[in-house]
Chains A and B, each alone.
Chain A
């Protein structure tokens, strides 16, 4: 027995479908689009309820975040955001950017005043006062101004450093910890800056143990979803690393996503990051294949090839990093990677490969070429995550081999100036994340935030790909700017295609899921620099309206 019909009206519905590009009404039944067109055209299906609360708004296909991490949700659950970028928390509250150490200390004092128990540690995340310009490092003296007795632990935005106060240093016995990442002043006392996990672990165990080990807290799933939904996402990727193959973790994930109030669909990549052996990855992916639900599905196996460019650990081709010529780190040996890729490809899996710099991409592309030679496969949809330095030669080869990518367009905005000055120099910084060339050559690309690395906000990511502007206002690589239409397609259809979901989501068409993002103005016609400020009014997921706070 089919359910009731709802017809939503809008000022304009942008379908991203090549045949019928616009409509004013959409009829929805049982979570599926029944008709798109005028009210009259929709009404032929019979009795309906007209929902015209979005009559003055723009409906677009539900926006898709093609690469993000559940860690974002855990951090919101366990720590206070004190970073240099404006972010909205799961409740919709804006946390304004803290761009200097005094601003950070002031905010921490405010937070400190709200914690009643004197022993509860104050844990912060996202800290990066030197986002683009180098400022004096944070020391325990700064944090001791906040409290000398309550332990304080602040995780850097990169997750590779932490800053702690004297109370934490004492509690965790840092006098006896000789790791070189424990920075010391001229007197030999720890400064409070802890670099890398070897230096951070004692403090984490003493005051922030929630941040390590697989948490089964359902709040992390809701937080992850709510932050993205508030910015208009209806589908988000959990990009590898989570341990869904562990029964307790899967149970928590199913419990959260099974709730009718869960506001997004999660497409989770299978874990090829912390699982050492390819046979185990394939076995886990196979067994999880139909273990999901309407809002949690598993797709692709995620592997890491190199590190991060801003951390100087991406694997670059010659001449390496700016000035030093240094190179980054492999996450797996290239020959091991080649074996893994070939095994996954032969097993019919989709491979999702984190390749930040161009040598990492080269190794992955050649591994796929070898796998294709051994066992030709059409429509495998293997894709590269980040691919920041892909060049024309690589993109042409990707087109030939069927490899696509989700680019890290947000990087141009947040780190474009940093890359120009410190990692790549002028040319390579201007050539980063070449969306226009990729699309011209027939490589289907999306773009992503990699939250918690940068905030999840599909319209901001679209804006970054369309404008390629840095935080100081410089436009880098203007030829690689895409049109607003291409930008929106990157965040909808193309993302759905990467995830093997384009038959269900990513565009609006009769028979596809009724997932929409409701906007205050038309992102295709506003001034391109205003795309990121287009208001997100609500999302609709399978026909159900989820409001946006604020």
Chain B
């Protein structure tokens, strides 16, 4: 299995470490490796530490935390080649790093691929920070490279101020996907594309805070979907959608199931890995979108995906596609 790599960037003090701590405290069953600049800043709960050996701290929940040392590529290659290695790698970029450059490292080994670039911004200070004469250009370019912007420290500002800063980023960076920092227990689910069995799609999310920020929209269809129509629909998802996942069956390869993963602006639609069970005729196509509760318009999403099931295509084309696909 190849290993997805997430990059968490953002300027000094933006709240990357808090997010990482929440992630490590409840990785939702994913065997994570978190790669950081400096152990000291992570402050892992002592009760969680199983073992510390040189550049690696092993946690009781199966996760590991490694320091970059002086060579990030070397640290990642080591993780990629470990027997029983991690299922997901999260890199904490330094406060002055360009997260896009760090993301290049996710493609430095055949077994690794980029899952998403998450940039944390301090909701209270980000608007003044982009005018700083020393780091303004840096903070702005970090936000621009983000697949998903996470606003931290929102408890320090009121709802109106939160909406203002969100609107400001959306205006400055068209297409940006922006969320408030999730609580422990939701970080993995919201920021990392994780497991995607059908069970994962139906996991309930009951937390009150979560419900206030997010709304869920889903789509279930017994028909196979048209791959191109689906790709067009996903590419056109509005910025209110911050996370999506799905398991679908496509006319172009009916013997396989496909996995849809979207983290902010970055998404992929790939066949399930070789070795998983063949698709059953009864398998439905399921897509779940998580969006901002105050912005998500279910009717709009209904309309966007309406043309993806093959049944929605004109009859002659549909027959042709079905025919080709089954020969």
A333 interface neighbour in B38, B73, B96, B104, Cβ under 8 Å: B96
Docked-complex contact B77 and A198, CB < 8 angstroms: no
Docked-complex contact B110 and A177, CB < 8 angstroms: yes
Q: List the B residue with the shortest CB-CB distance to A331.
A: B96
B135 interface neighbour in A180, A205, A212, A333, Cβ under 8 Å: A333
Q: Which residues on A sit within 8 Å (CB–CB) of B95?
A: 333, 336
Q: Does B37 contact A (CB under 8 A)?
A: yes
Q: Does B20 contact A (CB under 8 A)?
A: no
Docked-complex contact A274 and B70, CB < 8 angstroms: yes
Docked-complex contact A198 and B107, CB < 8 angstroms: yes
Q: Which residues on B sit within 8 Å (CB–CB) of A201?
A: 73-74, 77, 108-109
**How far is the CB of A236 from the nearest CB of chain B, in Å?**
22
Q: Does A276 contact B (CB under 8 A)?
A: yes
Q: Which residues on B sit within 8 Å (CB–CB) of A213?
A: 71, 74
Q: List the A residue with the shortest CB-CB distance to B132.
A: A334
Compute how far the CA of A383 lies from the CA of B40 in the bound complex, rounded to whole angstroms: 29
Compute how far the CA of A196 lies from the CA of B138 in the bound complex, rounded to whole angstroms: 20
Q: Which residues on A sit within 8 Å (CB–CB) of B98?
A: 329
Docked-complex contact B96 and A202, CB < 8 angstroms: no
Compute how far the CA of A437 lies from the CA of B96 in the bound complex, rounded to whole angstroms: 33
Docked-complex contact B11 and A333, CB < 8 angstroms: yes
Q: Does B137 contact A (CB under 8 A)?
A: yes
**CB-defined interface of A184-216 with B at 8 Å, one 1/0 digit per residue?**
000000000000111111100100000011000
**CB-defined interface of A266-281 with B at 8 Å, one 1/0 digit per residue?**
0000000110110000
**How far is the CB of B100 from the nearest CB of chain A, in Å?**
9
Docked-complex contact A277 and B113, CB < 8 angstroms: no
Docked-complex contact A205 and B77, CB < 8 angstroms: yes
Q: List the A residue with the shortest CB-CB distance to B76.
A: A201
**CB-defined interface of B64-88 with A at 8 Å, one 1/0 digit per residue?**
0000011111100100000000000
**CB-defined interface of B14-56 with A at 8 Å, one 1/0 digit per residue?**
0000000000000000000000011010000000000000000
Q: List the A residue with the shortest CB-CB distance to B104.
A: A198
Q: Given A173-B110, A274-B69, A336-B12, do A196 and B96 touch, yes or no (CB 8 Å)?
A: no
Compute how far the CA of A327 lies from the CA of B138 in the bound complex, rounded to whole angstroms: 9
Q: Which residues on B sit within 8 Å (CB–CB) of A363?
A: 134
Q: Which residues on A sit within 8 Å (CB–CB) of B138?
A: 330
Q: Which residues on A sit within 8 Å (CB–CB) of B73?
A: 197-198, 200-201
Compute how far the CA of A181 lies from the CA of B135 in the bound complex, rounded to whole angstroms: 26
Compute how far the CA of A333 lies from the CA of B132 in the bound complex, rounded to whole angstroms: 12
Q: Does B105 contact A (CB under 8 A)?
A: yes
Interface size class of A (residues with CB under 8 A): 20 to 34
Q: Does A179 contact B (CB under 8 A)?
A: yes
Q: Which residues on B sit within 8 Å (CB–CB) of A330?
A: 96, 134-135, 138
Interface residue ranges of A299-321 to B (CB < 8 Å):
315
Docked-complex contact A332 and B96, CB < 8 angstroms: yes
**How far is the CB of A12 from the nearest CB of chain B, in Å?**
47
Name the residue among B37, B105, B135 with the largest chain A CB count within 10 angstroms. B105
Q: List the A residue with the shortest CB-CB distance to B71.
A: A212
Docked-complex contact A333 and B74, CB < 8 angstroms: no
| Majority DSSP secondary structure for residues of A touching B | loop
Docked-complex contact A334 and B40, CB < 8 angstroms: no
**How far is the CB of A307 from the nearest CB of chain B, in Å?**
11
Docked-complex contact B72 and A197, CB < 8 angstroms: yes
Q: Given A333-B12, A336-B12, do A327 and B108 touch, yes or no (CB 8 Å)?
A: no
**How far is the CB of B117 from the nearest CB of chain A, in Å?**
14
Docked-complex contact B108 and A199, CB < 8 angstroms: yes
**How far is the CB of B80 from the nearest CB of chain A, in Å?**
10
Docked-complex contact A198 and B105, CB < 8 angstroms: yes
Q: Does A335 contact B (CB under 8 A)?
A: yes
**CB-defined interface of A322-360 with B at 8 Å, one 1/0 digit per residue?**
000001011111111000000000000000000000010
Docked-complex contact B40 and A197, CB < 8 angstroms: no
Docked-complex contact A212 and B74, CB < 8 angstroms: yes
Compute how far the CA of A448 lies from the CA of B327 in the bound complex, rounded to whole angstroms: 72
B113 interface neighbour in A178, A200, A273, A274, Cβ under 8 Å: A178
Q: List the A residue with the shortest CB-CB distance to B114.
A: A178
Interface residue ranges of A526-540 to B (CB < 8 Å):
none
Docked-complex contact B135 and A202, CB < 8 angstroms: no
Compute how far the CA of A277 lies from the CA of B134 in the bound complex, rounded to whole angstroms: 22
Compute how far the CA of A327 lies from the CA of B145 in the bound complex, rounded to whole angstroms: 16
**How far is the CB of B67 from the nearest CB of chain A, in Å?**
8
Compute how far the CA of A339 lies from the CA of B37 in the bound complex, rounded to whole angstroms: 17
Q: Does A393 contact B (CB under 8 A)?
A: no
**How far is the CB of B143 from the nearest CB of chain A, in Å?**
16
Q: Which residues on B sit within 8 Å (CB–CB) of A274?
A: 69-70
Docked-complex contact B38 and A276, CB < 8 angstroms: yes
Q: Which residues on A sit within 8 Å (CB–CB) of B12?
A: 333, 335-336
Q: Which residues on A sit within 8 Å (CB–CB) of B108?
A: 177, 179, 197-199, 201-202
Compute how far the CA of A185 lies from the CA of B89 in the bound complex, rounded to whole angstroms: 31
Name the residue among A178, A205, A359 with the largest chain B CB count within 10 angstroms. A178
Compute how far the CA of A274 lies from the CA of B72 in the bound complex, rounded to whole angstroms: 12
Can you spell out 29 A-B residue pairs with CB atoms less than 8 angstroms apart? A176-B110, A178-B107, A178-B113, A179-B105, A180-B104, A180-B107, A196-B104, A197-B108, A198-B73, A198-B101, A198-B104, A198-B108, A199-B104, A201-B108, A212-B71, A213-B74, A241-B70, A276-B37, A277-B38, A277-B40, A315-B134, A331-B96, A333-B11, A333-B95, A333-B96, A334-B134, A336-B12, A359-B134, A363-B134
Going nearest first, the 9 A-B pairs with the smallest beta carbon separation are: A176-B110, A201-B73, A276-B38, A274-B70, A179-B107, A198-B104, A178-B107, A330-B96, A333-B12
